[in-house]
Every structure is written in structure tokens, then in C-alpha cells.
Chains A and B, each alone.
Chain A
Amino acid sequence: MTLLGAVTDALKTEMRNDDRVVVFGEDVGKKGGVFGATEGIQAEFGEERCFDTPLSECGIIGTAVGMAVYGIRPIAEIQFMDFIYPAFDQIVSEAAKMRYRSGGEYTCPMVIRTPYGGGIRGGHYHSQSSEAYFCHTPGLKVVVPSTAADAKGLLISSIRDEDPVMFLEPKRIYRTHKGEVPDGEHVVPLGKGRIVREGTDCTVIAWGAMVSTCEKAADEAAKQGKSIEIIDPRSLVPFDEDIVLESVKKTGRCCVVYEAPKSCSFGSEIAAIVAEKAIEYLEGPVARVGGFDTPFPYSLEHLYMPDVRRVVEGIKKTFTW
């Protein structure tokens, strides 16, 4: 099954399980979403539980907050993460703070699903990875799958979670990534990372579409005699520090890889955690391989996106200083 198919599978599974779950957004009904993530959902569950909205992200998220506060389980689709900003206020001021500001009287369990990331010739507005804004907002959880099985298991956990979750779907690998996905019930807990491959010389941390790029880079590094351990945190908030620190303590080196602009990214946060809690184990500097501190380009996208040669270069930096 593709990663995209696993998203659809998770939505259907939870909609069958829990009749409070509703799915809405732009083009999610008859068309089944511009990427096809909600294909067949309106046909199976009807227009009450899967519907197209007017073209307003602010409206989509504002109404989702209201629904969640009232007690149903909204899953809002934002067509591209790049178009989420009209809803920024509703996300960071409202959904994120509802529990805290009401002293726990009101809560906001909802999921915002949105495709993110580059590598699809989408230019500025169909490519960005803006997870850092949301990771920086207390009260929000931020989840990113990199495999089909994780997409299903993490999405089901996100829907069942009692807090608002941003579920970021790496669109470049929607169809190119294929893997086994368990039928029916399949839950992957939030806050538990995954060791993608074991190694002894350097820990590479990556999420979403960057995981497969790092796997290729690890093959390349192996040719140079370096054994790379790859960790996919799977959720950025809550973040599995243990799995990262344990690995870094073993390898003594750390390279973080992400698509977002290099500065002030979630990768910078990981570098800080490693520096704070594992400095005495480090045998070289922590490296960050990110996008550049520029808007996402069109024609030069292939240079902007971290690729195998840049990840290999980043790994090299952890050995040389």
C-alpha cells in the first residue's frame, strides 16, 4: 500500500470505529481531495461526515475548533501546508490554548491533516516545510510519518488523541513510498521514535521524505567505511529524546536533516538537545543539513532540497573539525 493509501485507510478505519469523526476541507468530497487522500470517503460515509467547505482555511479551522469543543472529532484537511496561514490564528491562539486557558474545562481534540514538503516542482507555495512554527506553539502536537504503516498507525493515534494534532504528510513520497500496512486496527503511539537502520559511527535524524534520502546517503557513507544509524522521531511534539540520546551516546556523532530553512528549525532544537544532554559523548560537532534560509525556489529546487551529496557532506562534518 502507498503512504497515501494508508492515510485513506486510517481515516476510514477510524470513521467506522467512531461515529463522532467527520472529515472536511476543500475538494475532499466528490473529488476525494486533490491528492486523493479522501477518495471514497464521501461515498461510504455520506455528505454529513465528509464534505467540501468554502475556500477559507480560517473557516475550516475555526469551525473545527468549535466542533471539537462541542464534542465531535473533526479532521480538517488543509490542501497544502503553504495555505495554512489564514488559519494561523485559529491554530496557535485557539486550538493550541483551549485546554490551558480554560483550566482544562474545555479541550480541543482535533486533527489538521496537511501535505507538506518539496520535491514536486511546486515552487514557493506548494513545497514548504513549516513545522517549526507549530512545534514552537505549546499545546499542539506535531506528527510526521515516513512510511505507509506509520502513516496509518500515527494517524489513528492522532485522531484518538485528546489534544490538537498537526498531521503533516510528506507529499513527495505519497505514491512513491510503498509498504506493508496491517489491516484494521493499527496504532503507533505518538512520542515514540523509530530506528530506521542501526549503525555505529554517526546518528542521522530525519523525518518525512528526508528519511529515504538519508537511507541513500547512509549507503553512500558505508562505501566510505562509515556506519550510519538513522532515527525517525515520527512525532516532533511530543519528541522522543531518549531514542536520540541513546543513539548519540553510542555513535558519538549527530547530523540532523530536514527540508525547512536551516535557521530556527526544529532540527536546530534537536541539535540543542543533543548539545545540552550528550555533550560529553560527542566526538565531533553536531551538523545541521537543511533547506537554505531563502524562500522555496522553483527552477533551483534540486539545489535547495537536501540531497544525498549534502547529507554525505553533513555526515563528513561530524568527523572533521
Chain B
Amino acid sequence: MTTKLLTIIEKDGKAAKDKDPNLSDAELRRVYRTMVQTRIMDERALTLQRQGAIGFYLQALGQEASHIGSALPMQDSDWFFPAYRQPGIMLLRGADLDDIVNEWFGNDGDTSKGRQMPVHYSLRSINFVSISSPIGTQLSQAAGAAMAAKIRGDDTVFMTYCGDGGTSSNDFHAGLNFAAVYQAPCVFIVENNQWAISVPSTNQTKSESMAAKAQAYGMPGVRVDGNDILAVYRVCKEAVDRARKGGGPTLVETVTYRMGSHSSSDDADRYRDAKEHESWKQRDPIERFRKYLEKKGIWNEEFQSEIEESFKQDLNDAIKRAKARPKPAAATLFDDVYLQPTQQLIEQRDELLGLEGPESDEIGEFPL
């Protein structure tokens, strides 16, 4: 069983020569930029939530290496079935910033037409399949999409995510089992951030690790330092290459930490030890990668401020545009239930549009 933890970048930024995946300087810069952008976006969005401009937000603080590093070996034609904590993948794959920000506001420019809560993106433009709240459902779907690609003879690879909590879901079992039985080109990433809201990961399983579960399904399982982007990349590159060559699925456990509260509605200080948080802060994935880049002579202050300033500007512009857009029109409520609306939907729509008087003012705040 390969449940030992793979690490490449040491605390001081040194990397073992024999393990360094030797990405080009340009690629290293792009990856670092994406990590910093992701953190800026998370901070800005939470502020918007606190100011009441958007209804909800959920950050990936501390998990930038885990999800950006895993997505890095995927090609443009490959597909993602994400959970809700992988925002950096959208930036890495060049999603339109307006598409991201409009979703938070649920305005008429939102690709999913304001139908879902913030962070439940649907971005066909980057093969990023519509996110759902129920934990784990994407896992068996990714296996199925991978089976379909195999049936069609395509060389597409599928990557899907869940948290430590997600490994307890029915779909974790179904997804891994099907993917293994049909040798589907699917890579399962478990981002073990130690917590499922207030429940520690030790409460999810008595397995010695999440990666260990792979053995029972008959697929390789790898445990990797999730705060080390080179290690995550290396492990996932191997898994993606294997899947593309017909070698079947892989389970990757990225060992990381949820640096923030579960969401804008949660307060982790109520159930988490501050010391634990502090010790993980020393292992910050961006800081660690920065030291590596600095050692290589790729990073300097100038580079840092260029990234920060240009992205903050772009983000602020996108937010300004998003704020100026209205909610989707009332009639759109009835679209997309089916391709053609039923008789009942048409009747209900016409009735709603014909109503007079003030609309409801009874909508409260999201309490979780």
C-alpha cells in the first residue's frame, strides 16, 4: 500500500532533485500566479459576503496547492466534476472572470441564470460540470462520464473531487467501484482538509488513511502532501497519464488543512483548537512554493506586486460590472425545467407575471 506521504518542497523551499518535476519557469510563474489570484479572490468574495453584497461564500484557503496542483496535468479537452472547494481550477483554466463573479451575484449574466447559491458554478467553457451541494454525487457521475469516453474511444481524462467527509458518502463507494470495474479514465482526488464542518476526519473512517481505501477497490491509492504543489502535481500527472493510456482510475489523497471556517455561515473557532490552526499556518502552500521559486530566482517582490495589483484591478472591475447587472427576469424562473415547458408551467408563469402589488419581503439570511 502506498499510503506514505509524498513531499517534494521542504519548509525552506529546497526541493529534492530526483523528485522535482522540473516545470518550465513560465509554467511555474503561471501556477504561482493562479495560487495568489485564488487567495485574493477568496478574500475579496468573503468581504463582499460580509458587506451583504452577496448571500454566501465558501473559501479554499490553504487548499490552493491541493486543487490547483491536481488540475495542472489535465489537458484543455479533459473534464472536471468538482466539489465546491476548487475555485483555483477555474482561474488555472482561464475561465472568464465575469462568469465567476456573476455567479456570486446570481445576476442575469450568471451562466446558471441565478439558479444556485454562490460557488455552485457551471462552466461548460472549461469543461467544469455544474456543482451540486449534496456531498459526493459528482463521484459516480465522473466515473460514468469516464466510462462513456472509453465506450466512445475518446482519450479524455476525468478528474473529480471530494473532501474527507465525502469519503463516507454512498457515491464514494459507487464511484470508485464502478470506475475500477470498468477501468474508467477517472482520477479521484480526496482533499483531506481534516474537517467536515465541525467533524474531524478521524470521525469519518478507521482506515489508516483515505488513500488506503483504494486497495479494496482495486486501484492505486496515493497519499500526498497537499500543501506541496509540486508533490501534488507529480502524483496527479502520473495518475492522469495512466488513465489516458488505459490504465484505469487512481485515488489521490491530498493531506491539507481548511484554514478558514467551513463557509461564511460557520465559525470554526467554536470547535477547533487555535494551536492546530497555527501549526498548519506554518505549512502554508503559497508561502512554501514562493520560497522554492525564490531559491530558483523566479520570484521577487516586483513579480508579487504585479500579480496582486493587476488581479485586484481585474477583480474590482468584474465586481463593478456584476453589481450593475439586474437579477434574471421573472419569466426565466420557468425556463430549463424541461426543454419545452409543460402546460402547468406556462399557466403558473402567466399567473405570476400578471400579479400586482409588492413582492415578498420575507426572505431571511442563510443561517449555515
Q: Do A and B come from one complex?
A: yes
| Contact present for B197 and A307 (CB under 8 Å) | no
A99 at the interface (CB under 8 A from B): no
Is there a chain A Cβ closer than 8 Å to B363's Cβ?
Answer: yes
Question: By the criterion CB–CB under 8 Å, are B366 and A55 in contact?
Answer: no
Query: In the complex, A126 Cα to B357 Cα: how many Å?
Result: 28
Q: Within 8 Å of chain A (Cβ to Cβ): is B298?
A: no
> How far is it, in angstroms, between the C-alpha of A312 and the C-alpha of B360 when the chains are bound?
12
Assess whether A55 is in contact with B271, with CB atoms less than 8 Å apart: no
Contact B198–A124 (Cβ < 8 Å): no
A294–B134 CB distance below 8 A: no
Main SS at interface, chain B: loop
Q: Interface range on chain A: under 10, 10 to 19, 20 to 34, or 35 or more? A: 35 or more
Residues of A near B205 (CB, < 8 A) are 54
| Chain A, 292-320, CB within 8 A of any chain B CB | 292-295, 297-305, 307-310, 312-313
Does residue A229 face the partner (Cβ distance < 8 Å to B)?
no
- In the complex formed, the residue of A with least CB distance to B327 is A299
Q: Which residues of A contact B135 (CB under 8 A)?
A: 55, 83
| A82-B134 contact in complex given A58-B170, A302-B359, C-beta closer than 8 Å | yes
CA–CA, A56 to B106, complex, Å? Answer: 30
Provide the residues of chain A in CB contact with B166, threshold 8 Å.
Answer: 55
Chain A minimum-CB-distance residue to B205 = A54
Query: Which residue from B115, B266, B327 sits with its C-beta under 8 Å from A123?
Result: B115
Give complex CA distance A272, B189 in Å: 50
Point out the residue from B168, B344, B348, B365 that lies within 8 Å of A54, measured CB to CB. B168
Q: Are B170 and A121 in contact (CB under 8 A)?
A: no
Q: Which residues of B contact A126 (CB under 8 A)?
A: 117, 133, 366, 368
Complex Cα spacing A124 to B337, Å: 13
What is the size, in residues, of chain B's interface with A at 8 Å between Cβ atoms?
Answer: 57
For B353, the closest partner residue in chain A by CB is A303
Residues on A with C-beta less than 8 A from B56 are: 121
Most central of A29, A293, A313 by chain B CB within 10 Å: A293
The verdict on B328 contacting chain A, using a C-beta distance below 8 Å, is yes
Would A171 and B367 be within 8 Å (CB), given that A298-B115, A303-B359 are in contact?
Answer: yes
- Establish whether residues B133 and A125, one from each chain, have CB atoms under 8 Å apart when the complex forms: yes
Q: Which residues of B contact A29 (CB under 8 A)?
A: 198-199
- Given A30-B198, A126-B117; A35-B203 close (CB under 8 Å): no
A297 touching B114 by the CB < 8 A rule? yes
Q: Is the CB of B333 within 8 A of A304?
A: yes
* A307 near B360: Cβ-Cβ < 8 Å: yes
Kindly list chain A residues whose C-beta atoms are within 8 Å of the C-beta of B170: 56, 58, 86
Chain B positions within 8 Å of A263 at CB level: 344
- Docked pose: A176 CA to B327 CA in angstroms: 27
Using CB atoms and an 8 Å cutoff, list the residues of chain B in contact with chain A: 55-56, 106-107, 110, 114-117, 120, 132-135, 165-166, 168-170, 196-199, 203-205, 265-266, 270-271, 327-328, 330, 332-334, 337, 342, 344-345, 348-349, 352, 355-368
20 sample A-B contacts, Cβ–Cβ < 8 Å, listed by A number = A35-B367, A54-B205, A83-B133, A119-B364, A120-B365, A121-B56, A121-B366, A123-B120, A126-B117, A126-B366, A174-B367, A176-B364, A292-B345, A293-B345, A294-B333, A300-B327, A300-B330, A303-B359, A307-B362, A309-B355
